[in-house]
């Protein structure tokens, strides 16, 4: 089997405006890093459009219809004080970003691929049940998780998030679902203000391990070793979905953690190891944040390299 790279040219057409940190160059930076010969075994496929049925498993149909009908023909339309933007290219990009995660789940669950990385935007983990925020329109990881359950019979699905910002949307969507698990390391306090250790979900299915500004490799690895990984093993998922944000890197302009490329390789290896123990190595990774282009490209490459080595 192989590692899939699921992407699409439409991700370059989601226009967020000049100087916006979540910009098309993020995709280009990762593409450049993955053009190295060491990634020649990646199998690149085009992301399909997610269907309404796939989206509305975790977002209300009214929210889906709102985003569809509010797509502008020419100008940019802000949804939340200018952080989250709609442009003429946003609708297709959003559908394909969710569609990438769904397609990756199909391939991994049906054993046509060992694992997958979705090189897609807009990101998703801040998108709540019926609210766009934090650069996110649809919650790609959550859409993928509910798809795995509905279509492939997965009984327990885990999302593990190492973005520097807490995935409030994924947490909110999973809160009342005992068969869904969400774990996050993130800087706190920081946008969006959620992610305290007391936020555990109705079925103790939420696991937050907040870090402080200035924390680096030691604190990050300790949070995973002592909090996240034991909780993930206890949950024993049928599929591990990674919300792979690379903005905890020391060079990132939007936060104050001090991770580096080896930390992303390390955490990926740890998550792959748990997936091997619990669910036959089934891993789907979806891109979230990361806003220093050089750090983003190299960190994503370190992440994908471990995925490639795991089959």
Give the count of beta carbons closer than 10 Å to the beta carbon of residue 294: 12
The answer to whether 257 and 295 have CB atoms below 8 angstroms apart is no
What's the DSSP call for residue 7? E
CA distance 120 to 117: 9
Place of tokens 């049925």: 53
Nearest-5° Cα angle at 250, 206 to 6: 60
Assigned token pair, 258: 């001090």
Q: Which sign does the torsion angle of CA 119, 287, 171, 203 carry? A: positive
Active site residues: 126
CA distance 160 to 182: 6
3-state secondary structure of 307: helix
3-state secondary structure of 281: coil
Task: Characterize the bridge pairing of strands 157-161 and 239-244.
Answer: parallel
The answer to whether 24 and 89 have CB atoms below 8 angstroms apart is no
- Of all helices (H) and strands (E), which one includes residue 183? strand 180-187
- Number of helices (H) and strands (E) in the chain: give both, helices first: 10, 10
């Amino acid at each position: 089997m192989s590692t899939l790279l699921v992407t699409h040219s439409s991700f370059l057409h989601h226009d967020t405006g000049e100087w916006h940190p979540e910009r098309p160059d993020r995709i280009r930076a990762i593409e450049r890093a993955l053009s190295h010969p060491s990634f020649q075994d990646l199998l690149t496929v085009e992301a399909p459009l997610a269907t309404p049925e796939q989206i509305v498993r975790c977002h209300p149909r009214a929210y889906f219809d709102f985003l569809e009908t509010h797509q502008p023909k020419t100008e940019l339309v802000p949804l939340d004080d200018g952080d989250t933007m709609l442009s003429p290219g946003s609708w297709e990009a959003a559908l394909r970003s969710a569609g990438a995660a769904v397609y990756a789940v199909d391939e991994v669950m049906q054993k046509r691929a060992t694992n997958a990385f979705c090189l897609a935007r807009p990101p998703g983990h801040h998108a709540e049940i019926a609210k766009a925020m934090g650069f996110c329109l649809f919650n790609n990881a959550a859409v993928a998780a509910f798809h795995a359950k509905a279509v492939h019979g997965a009984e327990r699905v885990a999302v593990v998030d190492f973005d520097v910002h807490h995935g409030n949307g994924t947490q909110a969507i999973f809160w009342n679902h005992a068969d869904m698990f969400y774990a996050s390391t993130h800087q706190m306090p920081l946008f969006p203000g959620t992610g305290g250790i007391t936020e555990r979900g109705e079925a103790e299915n939420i696991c937050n391990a907040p870090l402080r500004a200035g924390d680096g490799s030691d604190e990050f690895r300790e949070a995973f070793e002592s909090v996240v990984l034991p909780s993930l093993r206890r949950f024993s998922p049928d599929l591990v979905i990674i919300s792979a944000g690379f903005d905890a890197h020391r060079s990132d302009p939007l936060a104050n953690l001090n991770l580096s490329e080896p930390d992303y390789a390390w955490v990926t290896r740890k998550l792959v190891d748990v997936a091997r123990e619990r669910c036959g190595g089934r891993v789907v990774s979806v891109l979230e944040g990361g806003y220093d282009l050089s750090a983003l490209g190299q960190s994503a490459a370190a992440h994908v390299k471990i995925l490639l080595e795991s089959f």
